[in-house]
Amino acid sequence: MTDSKYFTTTKKGEIFELKNELNSDKKEKKKEAVKKVIASMTVGKDVSALFPDVVNCMQTDNVELKKLVYLYLMNYAKSQPDLAIMAVNTFVKDCEDPNPLIRALAVRTMGCIRVEKITEYLCDPLRRCMKDEDPYVRKTAAVCVAKLHDMNPTLVKDQGFVELLNDLLSDANPMVVANAVAALTEMNDQQTVIEVNSQMVNKLLTALNECTEWGQVFILDALAGYTPRDERETQNICERISPRLAHANAAVVLSTVKVLMKLIDMMPADSDFITQLTKKLAPPMVTLLSAEPEIQYVALRNINLIVQKRPDILKQEMKVFFVKYNDPIYVKMEKLDIMIRLAQQNNISQVLSELKEYATEVDVDFVRKSVRAIGRCAIKVETSSERCVQTLLELIQTKVNYVVQEAVVVIKDIFRKYPNRYESIISALCENLDTLDEPEARASMIWIIGEYAERIDNADELLESFVEGFHDENTQVQLQLLTAVVKLFLKRPGVAQALVQRVLSLATQDSDNPDLRDRGFIYWRLLSADPAAAKNVVLTEKPLISEETDLLEPSLLEQLVCHIGTLASVYHKPPSAFIDPAKAPLRQINPIPTAKFGSSLLDTSSATNASRNGSAPTVIPSQDQVIADLLSLDLNAPATSANTGGYGASMSGTTSMGGLDDLLGLGGDSMPAAPAMASSNNPFDSLAGLGMPSAVPAAQQPASIGGLAEIFGSGGFGASSGYTHPKEMWLEASKAMGMQVEGTFVRRNGRISMEITITNRAMQAISEFALQFNKNSFGLIPVEQMDQSPILPNQSKNFTIVCDTSGPVQVTTPLTNLQVAIKNNINAFYFATQVPLIVYFREDGQMEKREFLEEWKSIPEQNEQQFSLQNTQNMNADAICTKLQQNNIHTVARRQVDNQQLLYHSVKYTNNLNVLSELKVNSQNTAITLSLKSKNLMAIANMNEVFQSLLN
């Protein structure tokens, strides 16, 4: 008979019946009732009302019943903490039971019940279980310490559990060692409690061979954080862990590869040992590709990183990455990527034959990527470029629409790599012009026509066919078409004069797209002012494109190699990109520096320095992202030119400035007026009068007030009248022998002050005050002590203590957490508080627009977070900027887009770390979108709450 009967019931008053059954004298009936309760709990019914009755069932010798009751307790103890205390005595008693299974079960359950009131009762039983004679109990207790540390780290340190865990590393049972390592590693993720040293490494290596597979993973992950003392020790560790490469479990294999990859970096590049080791690394990775498709995918994502780091490891294994007919599409795509990375002169023939076959497959996405791969081969291996181009032409002849479009895109890249070599095939491309309907393919074809306009007799007709539907085209196509027409005009002005005037007019007057409009205005001014300069800019020699455009940025690759076998290696993103540091603190794993021995990656000093510097991996943004970022800021200081109509005149009433910097609002010298000309045969001259208003005379132009004064309408801001957080109760009189402490932190005149009110509720005077802060995220310390004069009973006294941020730094969670010790003539007392984040904002955090733009582009996309705020006071953009400026959130730029105001701000912390923000303020509703970027994600934590509090 199955247990399904417990999940089906139609009786009324079920809770009442269960209550009676739970209190039955018959053991069997009681067990059946508990099973029904667990079944109801499993399907989502609320059976918390039965808590006292279920707890009473704990007093039993039946292991099965005890397990069920413990399961119920773990689920409901958090919602019934007061009732959970009832079970404590039974837990303590069970921890001394003769049966080791019950002892382990009791300590495991106590660790899983996340109730503060129970933790103080857990310490003694847990300490006994860590020294238990049975290894099963000891390994369970080791994991319980990690759970206790998650709830109360201070308690774990004070009670000496870290030392006990360290002792378990020498345990005779390998599973106990593995669990102790797992517990210590998890605790180290939050804060450093122990450092891996050479003695510990020897213990771990000894236990490695006898552990279960997951125990081996824990030990290998711990070894990844150790830096050997010298090359001999490095080789010794490699030799002792390399047999794990033959393990059946893929996780063990990848963890071993991770450790070996890090250790290889530490040995001299010409070492023979590295050659031997790389030969051992290839077979286990190849073996992983014969597993299930899901494991293959994870293995391939990791292999992709390894091949980028050390392509020599798998250079002889090209055939294993050839696609099989029954591979899932996600496996095919990854194999294709790795094939390109491994392609070289001695295997390019095989690769091209495979790719040509793939291009005739039925899966459209796979075919597209195969065609692109042929182009990448041509760019990577120069000797194969002729054959690749021929293969692409054959594919174009198939007339399969999506194949032709991809071929056009990659041929454009080949032209960039090998100029003046394969232009003879342009005529074949032009034959397929009408079939191109995808934006990227159309943009590529337009680029080819514009780049080689002097060789294509009917280039003007071809481009004109695109101009007919200019406003229906994708932005990418419009931008490329604008540039191509300007190129044609510069190369063959006689045939393209009317066309360029038409396109410039469409781009600047009829378009709502700011990107397109800005580029149109730039070209217009260049052509009107100085045709020779326009030729130098637009027709300049293009740099050759790189061989591998999709390689990960080196610092990011180093970081991901340290995370082989984890989600980071599958996503190809650092953990900070997909884990919220506020909810799950991230351990910083830094790549081991080359040939540097004798220190541990878990060294607290290095962690502190990293947190101070706010270092983060730099990711090179894509070209599209750079353009988008460049044009998303209001960096446009309007300009006019007295001598021209056109673009200059359209910006009438403003100061005249010159050059590209001027168009971006970045300053520059005034553009000299061109001499007036009565008539001219120069076709460029006609661009000065395309039907746009004439220029405003210089006398009517206002004086230049450039820079930030132009944006804000004045020369700066007055004295700060920032937000002050109200005083909070920090220490109640009942907990400090009659001394009541209230206080807050404020920032005035560039200094942080702690404002305290001490009230004496005792029967005697208190005096001899002293104050001290624990290490904190910003190094905040008091720089002066409190007034020593006594406070009489029932009297209060105010103190203002000046602080600065020159103290020792230790990252806390949250960042604003501060532990304070305050002493008087009676005793010392301790409390914790949250320092308002706003007091750490510096007055000199105002960034220049160019500096803001460069930093915004340099920060990786994964370091950007968005929040939704409410404008509860319905403040307009001016009021918001003023309010933020008063609180050291400095306005850099503003711009209006439709009904939205875009506001850009900068904040500088006292540790010189910058946070950049963008506010989208909609005039039609109270919702505000806040985007925050910083080189260190930790700096963004809780920043949205600061903005919301100021808006309130």
DSSP string covering 14-57: HHHHHHHHHT-S-HHHHHHHHHHHHHHHHTT---GGGHHHHHHT
Residue type for position 307: V
Measured N-to-C along each axis, helices 63-76 and 27-42 cross at an angle, to the nearest 10 degrees, of 40
Which strand ranges, in their side-by-side order, compose the sheet holding 817-823? 770-773, 817-823, 828-834
**Band of pLDDT at residue 705, cut at 50, 70 and 90:** very low
Where do runs of H (alpha helix) occur along 435-566? 439-451, 459-467, 475-491, 493-508, 514-529, 531-538, 554-561
> What is the rounded CA–CA span in Å between residue 738 and residue 760?
6
Q: Six-digit token pair at 48?
A: 């918390």
549, 561, 552: which is closest to 624 by C-alpha? 549
pLDDT at 858 over 80: yes
pLDDT at 9: 57
**Band of pLDDT at residue 584, cut at 50, 70 and 90:** low
Q: Are 249 and 213 in contact (CB under 8 A)?
A: yes
**Band of pLDDT at residue 656, cut at 50, 70 and 90:** very low
> What is the rounded CA–CA span in Å between residue 537 and residue 558?
37
Tokens 């709450």 found at? 945
Tokens 């797992």 found at? 182
Q: Are 224 and 591 in contact (CB under 8 A)?
A: no
- Convert the pLDDT of each residue in 509-559 to its tens digit: 888 889 899 999 999 888 888 888 888 888 888 777 766 666 788 888 888
Three-class SS of residue 131?
coil
- pLDDT, the chain, mean: 79
- Convert the pLDDT of each residue in 316-345 to its tens digit: 888 889 998 889 999 999 999 899 888 888
Residue type for position 907: V
For the domain made up of 842-951, give the CATH fold.
TATA-Binding Protein (3.30.310)
CB atoms within 10 A of CB 790: 16
193, 173, 182: which is closest to 147 by C-alpha? 182
Three-class SS of residue 73?
helix
> What is the rounded CA–CA span in Å between residue 271 and residue 262?
15
pLDDT at 615 over 70: no
Strand-strand pairing, 770-773 and 781-782: unpaired
**Band of pLDDT at residue 636, cut at 50, 70 and 90:** very low
Mean pLDDT of 211-225: 86
> What is the rounded CA–CA span in Å between residue 10 and residue 351?
66
Residue type for position 787: D
pLDDT at 647: 34
**DSSP for 168-222, written as a single string:** HTT-SSHHHHHHHHHHHHHHHHHS------HHHHHHHHHHHTTS-HHHHHHHHHH
Measured N-to-C along each axis, helices 293-309 and 272-288 cross at an angle, to the nearest 10 degrees, of 160
Q: For the whole model, what pTM was predicted?
A: 0.58
Q: Six-digit token pair at 928?
A: 């505000």
pLDDT over 70, % of the chain: 83
pLDDT at 616: 39
> What is the rounded CA–CA span in Å between residue 316 and residue 338?
13
Q: Are 854 and 935 in contact (CB under 8 A)?
A: no
124 Cβ contact list (under 8 Å, min separation 6): 92
- Convert the pLDDT of each residue in 739-750 to its tens digit: 999 999 999 888
The CATH label, of 1.10.1200.120, 3.30.70.260, 2.60.120.10, 2.60.40.1150, for the domain at 728-839 is 2.60.40.1150
Q: Six-digit token pair at 688?
A: 């000065």
Bridge partners of 916, per DSSP, are 906, 933
Mean pLDDT of 228-255: 89
CA angle 829, 832, 834 (to 5 degrees): 145
Q: Six-digit token pair at 56?
A: 């009473």
642 Cβ contact list (under 8 Å, min separation 6): 648, 656, 673, 695, 697, 698
> What is the rounded CA–CA span in Å between residue 458 and residue 90?
92
CB atoms within 10 A of CB 30: 20
**Band of pLDDT at residue 583, cut at 50, 70 and 90:** low
